[in-house]
Structure 1
Amino acid sequence: MADGINTLRYSDIFFAMYFDGGMSCTHRNHSHVLLYIYSGEMLIEEKGKTTRLHRGDCAFIRKDFSVKMTKQAWNGEQFKAIFLTFTPNFLRGFYNKLEPDSIPKDARRENVSLCKLPSNRPDIVSLFESMTPYFDSGIQPSEELLQLKMVEGMYVLLNTNKNLYASVFDFTDPWKIDILNFLENNYMNDISIEEIANYTGRSLSTFKRDFKKCSTLSPREWLIHRRLEAAHELIQKGERKVSEICFDVGFKNLSHFSKIYKEKYGTPPTRNLQHGMGVEF
């Protein structure tokens, strides 16, 4: 327990959290997660839309760098929830055991990362209520039990919507996430090549191989090129400071940004800005 927050983690797949008061914590989703809210409130922000989850709500959140989750007490109740985190190893093992005929060939990956499951479904209630003894008892569930709960959670998902096959098993060829589409939506974020590979459902070596099919640039070169393009467009408008633009498009160092900007466009960013509204650094 730290700062009033209780967390339980088992085998990196079973995660419970609860805390009181008006505390909140925010993080981005690095793995596919199935969550269930016992009390309190969770806010999920994606592409300008906020979804609120409360007692009895269950949702699947696809791994996505653009999704932000906030957990907080609500209506006098502490925040209390359980998260099932589907690791790549678990997903590959589960997928390999599926009968080929059971996998829908026409499943399509949804455009949104959040799927709220129907409330009060017996299989959902049964799954998550069976986990409540582990909140306060101090008893650690066995590895065998954890695996059973993960499998149960996976079938909860797959029995909800066949399109979730494409979201969950995004490492298979028909459902691999489009690399350039992902980068276009996330180039301004502080994200490593390893993270990009993971988010797009690939190993690092597979990502590098697939990226060569998309661009003659390396992934790092593509990111720099795209950030410079975005910066140039904003600077030409002349409405904002160069320093703000530099950091907003994803660069971390202003002097380095100015140097490579001049190399690409022939003039320093401040000179281009002078043709706009004259805004300085």
Structure 2
Amino acid sequence: MEPLTPTIVPEIFISCKKEAHYSRELVLPQPALVRVMSGEVRIAGAHRHFSFFAGDTVLFPRNQLGRMSKLPLNGEPCIAVSIVFRQEILSQYYTAHPIDPQPHQAIGLIQLADHPLLESLFNSLTPYFKLADALPADLAAFKMEEAIRVLRAIDKNVDQLLGQLDEPGKIDLADFMERNYMFNLTAAKFGYLTGRSLTTFKRDFKKTFNNTPEKWLTKKRLELAHYLISEQKRKPSDVYFDVGFENLSHFSFAFKKQFGYNPTAAFAA
């Protein structure tokens, strides 16, 4: 088979990573169905980590925090096919096929068991990746609706993920922040994910933590970094990214300011 190469299709596309590729924070604006063709795809959540390999198919919810890594494996690049479901397609489909309303709740990713319908769906997409241009909008919409029908046929739980079309509702701020402070997001994005405007987020944050988001986040991230370096003996260069810092120099400066010594000293202690 000829090597598959990335296309410019925005909603149905294939990615091919010959070198290890690490994303920053991943917050999908829409649900996405991903089929791993080769290599390894890792997802790091706040407290859970997942690894997916060739033949695995995963449905990712929107507005869920995580980091994605795409890694070659056994001499093969990481190749994955993705279908990102447009909001209007989901809205049209679930208007025509209503489901029982459920209260807004966080829904985790769904790993789908191998199934002939899934195999057929992704096999039918392969020829399109040889096109020089993006799929016509009507054809992309047709394939998205086909994917929705396939998913509903093989797993009844997908409706609660795909059919959740409302914006995030107001949730417990303290619980969310304690679980997700290591993700490097803006205050506005944290506010959105907790169902608040930026102004309301900052006001509620001050009331909850008696601190500003910036100062609280820095303190929490540095405390986690200190534990990972001093207790788990992870190198500072392997830690700063995972706890939400942009670069090593900024991390080292903030670490020394808070603890009075460099992160390398904590590692050597």
TM-score between the two structures when normalised by the length of structure 1 = 0.64
* Counterpart pick for 2:135 among 127, 132, 141: 141
* Counterpart pick for 1:128 among 116, 122, 126: 122
Q: What amino acid is aligned across from residue 40 of structure 1 in structure 2?
A: S
1:30 maps to: 27
Between the aligned partners of 2:133 and 2:223, the Cα distance in structure 1 is 57
Q: CA deviation at 1:54?
A: 1.0
Answer whether contact 1:34 1:83 (CA < 8 A) is retained: yes
Pair 232,186 (structure 1): closer, same or farther in 2 beyond 3 Å: closer
Cα RMSD over matched residues?
4.6
How do 1:67-78 residues align onto structure 2 when only pairs under 5 Å count?
Answer: 67-74=67-74, 77-78=76-77
Between the aligned partners of 2:67 and 2:190, the Cα distance in structure 1 is 15
Higher mean C-alpha displacement, 175-184 vs 57-66: 175-184
2:42 maps to: 44
2:101 maps to: 105
TM-score between the two structures when normalised by the length of structure 2 = 0.66
Between the aligned partners of 1:279 and 1:73, the Cα distance in structure 2 is 31
Q: CA deviation at 1:96?
A: 6.0
Q: CA deviation at 1:115?
A: 1.4
Between the aligned partners of 1:257 and 1:82, the Cα distance in structure 2 is 40
2:112 maps to: 117
Between the aligned partners of 2:266 and 2:53, the Cα distance in structure 1 is 46
1:59 maps to: 58
Point out where structure 1 has 5 or more consecutive residues left out of the alignment: 262-268
Aligned residues: 250
- Render the CA deviation track for 1:56-115: whole Å, top value 9, x for unaligned: x321123443242324254x65543311123xxx22562366239822334775664x31
Between the aligned partners of 1:52 and 1:66, the Cα distance in structure 2 is 15
Between the aligned partners of 1:13 and 1:178, the Cα distance in structure 2 is 33
Q: What amino acid is aligned across from residue 225 of structure 1 in structure 2?
A: W
- SS of 2:79's equivalent? strand
Percent sequence identity is: 18
Between the aligned partners of 2:119 and 2:162, the Cα distance in structure 1 is 21
Q: CA deviation at 1:153?
A: 2.4
Q: Which protein has the larger Cα radius of gyration, Structure 1 or Structure 2?
A: 1
* Counterpart pick for 1:270 among 224, 237, 260: 260
Q: What amino acid is aligned across from residue 6 of structure 2 in structure 1?
A: T
Point out where structure 2 has 5 or more consecutive residues left out of the alignment: none
* Counterpart pick for 1:208 among 198, 201, 211: 198
* Counterpart pick for 1:196 among 187, 190, 193: 190
Q: What amino acid is aligned across from residue 129 of structure 1 in structure 2?
A: N
Answer whether contact 1:60 1:157 (CA < 8 A) is retained: no
**Higher-RCO chain (CA-CA 8 Å, sequence separation at least 6):** 2
Q: What amino acid is aligned across from residue 135 of structure 1 in structure 2?
A: F
Answer whether contact 1:40 1:73 (CA < 8 A) is retained: yes
Q: What amino acid is aligned across from residue 146 of structure 1 in structure 2?
A: A
How do 1:224-239 residues align onto structure 2 when only pairs under 5 Å count?
Answer: 224-229=215-220, 231=222, 239=230
1:264 maps to: none
Between the aligned partners of 1:209 and 1:278, the Cα distance in structure 2 is 38
